[in-house]
Amino acid sequence: MKNNHLSYRSGNPVLTSNAFNISSDSSDVMTINGTVNKTFLSLCIVILSGYYSWINISLTNSLIFPAIIVCAILGFVLVSRKHLSPIIVPIYAVLTGVFVGGISNMYNNLYDGIVITAISYTLSILFVMLTLYRTGIIKPTENFKLGVASATGGIFILYLVNWVMSYFFGTGMAIMSVNNASIYSIGFSLFVIVIAALNLVVDFDFIEEGSEKGAPKYMEWYGAFGLMVTLVWLYIEILRLLAKMNSRK
The SS3 of residue 224 is: helix
> Among candidates 111, 75, 116, 110, which has minimal Cα distance to 92?
75
Answer left, alpha or beta for residue 214, where phi above 0 means left and psi between -120 and 50 means alpha. left
**Residue 11's pLDDT is what?**
47
Which residues have CB under 8 Å from 8's CB, separation 6+?
17, 140, 141, 142, 145, 202, 205, 206, 209
Structure letter (DSSP) for residue 23:
-
Pairwise CA distance, residues 153 & 137, whole Å = 25
pLDDT tens digit at each of 249 positions of the chain: 444 554 434 445 555 545 545 544 555 889 999 999 999 999 999 999 999 999 888 877 788 888 989 999 999 999 889 999 999 999 999 999 999 999 999 999 999 999 999 999 999 999 999 999 999 999 888 899 999 999 999 999 999 999 888 877 778 788 888 888 899 999 999 999 999 999 999 999 989 988 888 889 999 999 999 999 999 999 999 999 999 998 776
The domain ranges of the chain are: 32-246
Question: Residue 36, class by beta-carbon neighbours within 10 Å (0-12 exposed, 13-18 middle, 19+ buried)?
Answer: middle
Q: 92 and 71 in contact (C-beta within 8 Å)?
A: yes
**Residue 196's pLDDT is what?**
96
**Residue 187's pLDDT is what?**
94
Query: Which residues share a beta bridge with 216?
Result: 29
**Residue 177's pLDDT is what?**
87
